[in-house]
Amino acid sequence: MYSSVIVPRQWTRFTCLCRSLTSVEGQKLPQNSKSSDGISPPPRKPRGPTDLLQALAATVGTDPTAAHYKYHDDPYLIPLSNFRKRSYALSAEAGRKAAAWIRDEHSNLFTTREWDPPTKNKTPYFNADPRIEAFAPKPIYNDASKVTEQDLKYTIQNALIDDSITIFQLLGGTSGVSEELKLQLLQLLCFYNEKEPESMEWLEERWFAANTRDRQAATWRLGGLADQIFESMDPKTPEAYCAMIQGMAKYYQAERAHMLTMEVKEKGIPLSTGVYNSLIGCVGFLREGTTLRVEALRSLLAEMHEQGISPNDETLSACLRSLSAWGGGKILQQMALSIVAEFRRLDIQPGLAAYYYLLCLFCKERGPRFDILSTIINELEQKEHLEAKEPADTNFFITAMGVCSDHLQNITMAERLHALLMKGDNYKLVGDAYKESIYYRHYVTVACRHASFEKTLELLDTLVPNVYVPEPSVMEEIIKTLEVGGAGDRLAQAWSQLVVFGHSKRARLVERLLDAMVNTYPGQEEEVKSKMRAAAADMLSFGQMTPEEKEMKDIRSPVQKLSATAVCNIIEMCSDTQDKADPLWKSVEVALQRLRKEEAAGVPARPQALADVAKKAAAVGLPGIAATAVTYLAECGFEEAMAASVHVLGTMLNRPEQEVEELLSQGQSALVSSLHPAAMAVAEAYSLAKTGGPIIQESERTSSSSDSDSDSSSDDE
């Protein structure tokens, strides 16, 4: 029956070839990959279970238009600011946690089939075959649960500290558990200091955890369960001593660790390399002063030599860590270099963590410049791929980029470092979200300051906003670069970016952007100019809430006001139009009113610009705006107000300036009857500027009325 299955001939041949070679997958084979006689096929190349997948994954590069793959690919769901990135990722994980909680609470529903007939035994049922451990409910232990040593083993192997402590107590504490399990539990407790570690399952929480850098203080729990277990152990094995000393040293209980080490040494119990590594890490807590500390470090190393314990790469990084923690100075630096050289002779190459400590030691913020980084990068570039060996490895790239940006101020070095990070799968060494953003902050800053304009733009296009969202300080740097580069459309775009990134409420940044825009505004093409005008108008309307909203919202944080200069800048840009019907005049008017109502901080820095605007408005045929501008100038007491009001009035009345001045020197009452309200307002402004005070009592009223009917008046003309 099955002989009727039609299969391509070649395939069947291929299969028989394989068959004659390996009947079962994974059989061991000679590993010379050459066909010896031209007939027998070469042996199969060895490969791991995921090697094929990794090779395929390596063909996929990054897509600058897409967000990180943990975010859903939909315009509504792609985050664009740091806040959103964080909250979206964390809420997705919160959902996951909720589901996992349900699974664990109602584990019986997930492992049996409720709909099976009652005659059938409710045996555990798993949908997947082979069974997938990750989908199985996790056991919950409490005071009422019946536990065995198996449970304790399970919890220890999965590093569930709290659960293992509960089970340990349920099993009868120190007396009810075998020595072997006690040792395992002791090691676990010492490693984590009896604190439940953050679960490996919840990646985002770790990624966005605010600051998990351990405090350099004695946090070791004195008299805790670890001590109890240690006391109860009889005889105390070398492993138990090692675990205790390492635990104390890891949590900076240096004194006790040291004492215990002395005790052990008297008893003649051998210690491991790990113990010495941890002792080296906390040796600085025992002594004060650089020379004493260095002396202690030296004696520890000598002791290792005496005991015949060979150091490893962790010893090197522990030494450097201690040295870098003791401040700077020639002695320590010399010491570090000699240690590195000596370890090299032992064929122990410094890892990323060691390099990190070296950078910390040499490249101080206000120290002399040391170009140690270029040597390090040269060495790292030689390596095929970088391995993560200890947690401090993730500090290397962020520190190195910081050195590039602040210490060396060298863009080529920064580019080389970035290329190194992007090589292969080195990106895993970037650390967590916090470190990642600091890394890019340094990189973008150094690029803005020292790279060519085109290159900076290219970099910004690839990084912002999906990989990195600039912080306000970096944004200012970027604006500065754009201003120098004279990229008007980019500046206009920068405003929308500010809004999206959530920086639009920062007045300082907006003012900075406005300054940059005004400075680059002349000399742009008309199309770009219109974009910039639109951006300026948008800035004005942004943050202005509707009255109802104002009522609804109790103002939690006082909204920062834009400065008068900034508003002036907006007015200047918006008024650059010849068309009377242009809606931008509307925003000019709004801006002027804001100025007059003193909703903007300070006074404009360049009143001449405002005077120009007034003249232009008058020329275009919008006397209301011109009048407001002039009045504002006069109220602020600028000298430009007089000349401007004369000029504006001249344009309005279509008379030469001398005639206007004559007219203005006439009495107030004569003017009221003969002049248009807008012109009247200008005249009042003139007199205000001249005398420094209003002539008639109702000037306030008339000027405000002139504001209100300025629209209708301009329509009339």
Q: In a 3-state reduction of DSSP, which class is residue 387?
A: coil
x/- binding map, residues 679-698, to other proteins, per CB under 8 A?
A: --------------------
User: Residue 530 CB: number of other CB atoms within 10 A?
Assistant: 15
Neighbours of 559 (CB within 10 A): 11
Q: Which of 314, 318, 461 is nearest to 389 (CA)?
A: 314
Of residues 28-47, which lie at the interface with other proteins (CB under 8 A)?
Answer: 33-35, 37-45, 47
> For other proteins, which is the closer residue by CB, 74 or 365?
74
Q: What is the smallest separation between the CB atom of 104 and other proteins, expressed in angstroms? A: 10
Under the binding rule (CB under 8 A), the answer on residue 19 touching other proteins is yes
Binding of other proteins by 235 (CB under 8 A): no
Query: Between residues 35 and 666, which has the closer beta carbon with respect to other proteins?
Result: 35
Closest distance to other proteins from the beta carbon of 715 (Å): 34
Contacts of 635-640 with C-beta under 8 Å, sequence gap 24+, read 635/596, 635/685, 635/688, 636/603, 636/604, 636/607, 637/689, 637/692, 638/607, 638/611, 638/689, 639/689, 640/607, 640/608, 640/610, 640/611
Residue 433 Cβ vs other proteins, minimum distance, rounded to whole Å: 16
Which residues between 582 and 641 bind other proteins (CB under 8 A)? none
Closest distance between other proteins and the C-beta of residue 210, in Å?
A: 19
Q: Which residues contact 137 (CB under 8 A, 6 or more apart)?
A: 103, 104, 107, 110, 111
What is the contact mask toward other proteins in residues 58 to 77, using x (rule: CB under 8 A)? xxxxxx-xx-----xxxxxx
- Burial (Cβ within 10 Å: 0-12, 13-18, ≥19) of residue 647: buried
CB of 501 to other proteins, least distance (A): 12
Site for other proteins in 294-353 (CB under 8 A): none
Question: What DSSP line would sit under 512-552, residue for residue?
Answer: HHHHHHHHHSTTS-HHHHHHHHHHHHHHHHTT---HHHHHH
Of 3 and 691, nearer to other proteins (C-beta) is 3
Minimum distance, C-beta of residue 54 to other proteins, in the bound complex (Å): 9
Identity of the residue, 125 or 180, whose beta carbon is nearer to other proteins in the bound complex: 125
Answer for which of 68, 91, 375, 700 binds other proteins (CB under 8 A) is 91
Distance, in Å, from the CA atom of 570 to the CA atom of 599, rounded to the nearest integer, reads 14
How many residues bind to other proteins according to rule CB under 8 A? Answer: 79
**94 lies in the binding site for other proteins (CB under 8 A):** yes
Q: How far is the CB of 116 from other proteins (least distance, A)?
A: 13
With 0-12 / 13-18 / 19 or more C-beta atoms within 10 angstroms meaning exposed / middle / buried, residue 73 is exposed
Question: Is 22 a binder of other proteins (CB under 8 A)?
Answer: yes
Torsion of CA 440, 446, 448, 451, to 10 degrees: -120
User: Contact between 13 and other proteins (CB under 8 A)?
Assistant: yes
Scan for tokens 């030599």, then name that residue. Answer: 305
Of 339, 338, 274, 260, the C-alpha closest to 310 is 274
Distances (CA, A) of 270 to 245, 310, 316: 13, 13, 21
Q: Establish if 17 lies at the interface with other proteins (CB under 8 A).
A: yes
Q: Which residue shows structure tokens 């439940």?
A: 196
Interface with other proteins, residue 463, by CB under 8 A: no
* Minimum CB distance to other proteins, residue 397 (Å): 23
Minimum Å gap between C-beta 158 and other proteins is: 18
Site for other proteins in 492-521 (CB under 8 A): 500
* Shortest distance, position 13 Cβ to other proteins, whole Å: 5
Counting beta carbons within 10 angstroms of the beta carbon of residue 477, is it exposed (0 to 12), middle (13 to 18) or buried (19 or more)? buried
Q: Which stretch binds other proteins (CB under 8 A): 91-99, 257-265, 480-488, 610-618?
A: 91-99
d(C-alpha 88, C-alpha 384), whole Å: 36
Instruction: Determine if 102 is a binding residue for other proteins (CB under 8 A).
Output: yes
- Kindly tell me which of 127 and 216 has the beta carbon lying closer to other proteins: 127
Give the separation between CA 625 and CA 682, rounded to whole angstroms: 10
Amino acid at 627: A
CB under 8 A: which stretch of 3-11, 286-294, 346-354, 362-370 binds other proteins?
Answer: 3-11
* 113-152: contacts with other proteins (CB under 8 A): 126-130, 132, 135, 137
Q: Does 88 bind other proteins (CB under 8 A)?
A: yes
Q: Taking the complex as a whole, how short is the minimal distance between the CB of residue 418 and other proteins, in angstroms? A: 19
- CA trace torsion 337, 339, 345, 350 (10° rounding): -80
Contacts of residue 357, Cβ cutoff 8 Å, sequence gap at least 6: 317, 320, 321, 323, 324, 336, 392
Task: Choose between 110 and 192: whose C-beta lies nearer to other proteins.
Answer: 110
Q: How far is the CB of 133 from other proteins (least distance, A)?
A: 11
232's tokens? 């109860």
Q: Which is nearer to other proteins, 465 or 604 (CB)?
A: 465
